[in-house]
Amino acid sequence: MLDERKRRILQAIVDDYVSTAEPVGSRTIARKYDLGVSPATIRNEMADLEVLGYLEQLHTSSGRIPSAKGYRFYVDALLSPTQMSEKEISLIRNWYQAKVRRLDEVFQTTAKILSRMTGNVSLVLAPQASPSSFKYLQFLPFDENKVLLVVVSDSGAVENKLLPLPRGTTLEEMQLIAEKLNNRLAGIPFRNFRGRMFQDVRDSILGEAREFEEALAILADTLSSRHQERVYLGGATQMLNQPEFKDMEKFKRLLNMLEEERLLYDILEAPSDDGVVVTIGRENKFSGIQDCSMVRATYCLGGEVVGTIAVLGPTRMDYAKIMATLEFMNHNLSEILKHYKL
pLDDT digits (tens, 9 = 90+) for 262-314: 788 888 875 556 689 999 999 998 888 999 999 999 998 877 788 899 999 99
Q: Look at residue 210 and tell me whether its pLDDT is greater than 60.
A: no
Through-space distance between the first and last CA atoms of the chain, rounded to whole angstroms: 47
CB 297 within 8 A of CB 327: yes
Which domains does the chain show, CATH number per domain? 4-78 (1.10.10.10), 86-129+229-337 (3.30.450.40), 134-225 (3.30.390.60)
Averaged confidence pLDDT in the chain: 85
The residue that leads in pLDDT, 29 or 342, is 29
CB 254 within 8 A of CB 277: no
pLDDT at site 339? 80
What's the mean pLDDT in 131-139? 80
Report how far residue 310's alpha carbon sits from residue 284's, in angstroms, rounded to the nearest whole number.
13
In the chain the beta strands, taken as DSSP E runs, fall at 55-57, 64-66, 121-126, 134-141, 146-153, 158-164, 230-234, 276-280, 292-301, 304-314
By mean pLDDT, which of 89-93, 234-238, 270-274 is the weakest? 270-274
The whole-angstrom distance between residue 7's C-alpha and the CA centroid of its chain comes to: 31
Residue length of the chain: 342
Q: Look at residue 41 and tell me whether its pLDDT is greater than 90.
A: yes
Shortest CA distance to 268 belongs to which of 127, 131, 129? Answer: 127
What's the mean pLDDT in 191-217? 65
Report how far residue 333's alpha carbon sits from residue 342's, in angstroms, rounded to the nearest whole number.
13
C-alpha torsion sign, points 19, 20, 24, 28: negative
pLDDT at site 310? 96
By mean pLDDT, which of 6-10, 77-81, 164-168, 281-285 is the weakest? 164-168
> In the sheet that 121-126 helps form, which strands lie side by side, from edge to edge?
230-234, 121-126, 304-314, 292-301, 276-280
Could you give the percent of the chain with pLDDT greater than 90? 44
Shortest CA distance to 109 belongs to which of 100, 118, 117, 120? Answer: 100
Q: What does the radius of gyration of the chain's CA atoms come to, in whole angstroms?
A: 26
Q: Using CB atoms within 10 Å of the CB of residue 197, give its burial: 0 to 12 exposed, 13 to 18 middle, 19+ buried.
A: middle
In 154-218 the beta strands, taken as DSSP E runs, fall at 158-164
Q: Using CB atoms within 10 Å of the CB of residue 183, give its burial: 0 to 12 exposed, 13 to 18 middle, 19+ buried.
A: exposed
Residue 315: pLDDT band (50, 70, 90) is very high
Q: Look at residue 222 and tell me whether its pLDDT is greater than 70.
A: no
Q: Look at residue 174 and tell me whether its pLDDT is greater than 80.
A: yes
The residue that leads in pLDDT, 110 or 213, is 110
Angle at 281 between CA 298 and CA 61, to 5 degrees: 145
